[in-house]
């Protein structure tokens, strides 16, 4: 996954599920989300909330490349998303502040430099 994909996925996850900006949320290269509660996979075909996370992340990614908000709304509707859900995504995008877009771009840089392999399971204790 690209750094933009990971950063947008993280932002959308935070917004849709109500995580605060200072909460520990990290998106791994396989798009699994790591929080203090554990590791979770977001599947857009699973629950409406997860579909909303993915739709918001995708539209943010497109906006970073220069696509306008109204065009993104129309694309969501054309792709089969309901008008109400597309309006929700559109309204959120319009409400994102300049500072939040700047933080998102900073997070893209963070993920671009993230080349560590996370430890996903505890290792056996030694020396006991």
State the Cα–Cα distance between residues 88 and 54, nearest whole angstrom. Answer: 13
Task: Say if residue 19 is exposed, middle or buried (CB neighbours under 10 Å; 0-12, 13-18, 19+).
Answer: middle
In terms of residues, how long is the chain? 128
Give the rounded percent of residues in the chain with a pLDDT score beyond 90. Answer: 33
Give 116's contacts (C-beta < 8 A, 6+ positions apart): none
Binning pLDDT at 50, 70 and 90, where does residue 116 land? low
Report pLDDT digits (tens) over 8-29: 999 999 999 989 878 889 999 8
Residue 117 pLDDT: 60
Per residue in 37-74, pLDDT tens?
899 999 888 888 898 899 889 889 988 888 888 888 88
Alpha helices in 31-82 (DSSP H): 48-64, 69-78
Tell me which of 8 and 120 has the higher pLDDT: 8
pTM for the structure as a whole: 0.80
């Amino acid at each position: 996954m690209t750094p933009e994909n990971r950063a947008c996925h993280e932002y959308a996850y935070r917004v849709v599920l109500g995580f605060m900006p200072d909460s520990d949320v990290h998106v791994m290269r396989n798009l699994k989300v790591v929080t203090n509660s554990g590791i979770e996979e977001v599947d857009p075909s699973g629950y409406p909330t997860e579909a909303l996370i993915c739709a918001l992340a995708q539209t943010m990614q497109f906006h970073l490349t220069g696509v306008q908000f109204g065009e993104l709304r129309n694309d969501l509707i054309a792709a089969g998303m309901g008008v109400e859900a597309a309006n929700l995504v559109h309204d959120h995008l319009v409400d994102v502040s300049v500072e939040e877009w700047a933080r998102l771009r900073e997070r893209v840089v963070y993920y671009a430099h993230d080349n560590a392999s996370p430890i996903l399971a505890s290792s056996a204790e030694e020396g006991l």
